[in-house]
Amino acid sequence: MAIFINKAVRRLVSDAITGALDLVYPPQCVVCGTLDAAYLCEECYSEILRIEPPICRACGIPCEEFRCRQCHDARRGFDYARSAGVFDGVLREAIHAMKYRGSRMLVGPISRLMIEQWNALRLPRSIDVVIPIPVDPSRMVDRGFNQAADLAMELCKATGMHFDDSILCRPRRTAHQVEVSYEERLTNLGGAFSVTNPSAVVRKRVLLVDDVFTTGSTLSEAAQTLKTAGAAAVICYTCARSL
């Protein structure tokens, strides 16, 4: 109980500090600088390139074929993956600001994109539990929040799906995927994830949420960990997709 209380208190303090700063420094769009309470103005938001069919049925990348060339050759731990928008321009800048510059207030407009794209991407409502990709404890201390968890929570609020960020953990620190080569990414995450409560996923249909799909290795490793623990299916959903 104390853990949940502490989380609530930290969120209240964070919101109070943000509110006070807004009075001194009026919120601006992180992309164009226009005064905007959402930190991402409607004009910039409208410029985000959405991903819609036709797409690869396996990884969700725009593709005329049933499966893209990479998915013909790669073995994925997840059943299939979908992404709301292209990781470029406005969306890239917004995610970088949220993830690396501590702009947690961007969770709102970024999750809005994921919510709006849910039906366009034909994602199912028959999900038993939504699980975010975890960050290791040291990065959690540095960043102060897990952006994947925040995005997943907002998605669940909008759809009524069940959120649980206690099932999947990341017990060891790994190199940032952006810091290693493509070949190293495939092995960097080996054994990086573990399931704290296998009974929570046994025979369950899981939605795994993260911010960006790059090579898919992070999602694939996490999904395989959940399947080894007994998950019946693991579907991945990210805000953005690198092309």
**Mean pLDDT per 10-residue interval, the chain, length 243 residues:** 53 52 72 93 97 96 94 92 98 96 94 96 94 89 92 97 96 61 59 94 98 95 97 98 96
Q: Tell me, what's the pLDDT at 4?
A: 44
Distance CA(231)–CA(173), nearest Å, equals: 24
The tokens for 80 are 């299939």
Q: Which residues contact 167 (CB under 8 A, 6 or more apart)?
A: 129, 131, 195, 196, 197, 200, 201
The tokens for 37 are 């309470």
* Residue-wise burial string across 110-145, b where 16 or more C-beta atoms lie within 10 A, e elsewhere: bbbbbeebbeebebeeebbbbbbbbbeeeeeeeeeb
Dihedral sign, Cα of residue 200, residue 175, residue 6, residue 94: negative
Q: Tell me, what's the pLDDT at 178?
A: 54
Among candidates 202, 211, 223, 78, which has minimal Cα distance to 128?
202
Please say whether the structural domain 50-241 has been given the CATH code 3.40.50: yes
How is residue 214 annotated by DSSP?
A: S
How much is the pTM?
Answer: 0.85
- Give the length of the chain: 243
Q: Tell me, what's the pLDDT at 125?
A: 84
Q: Tell me, what's the pLDDT at 138?
A: 81
> By the 8 A CB rule, do 150 and 111 touch?
yes
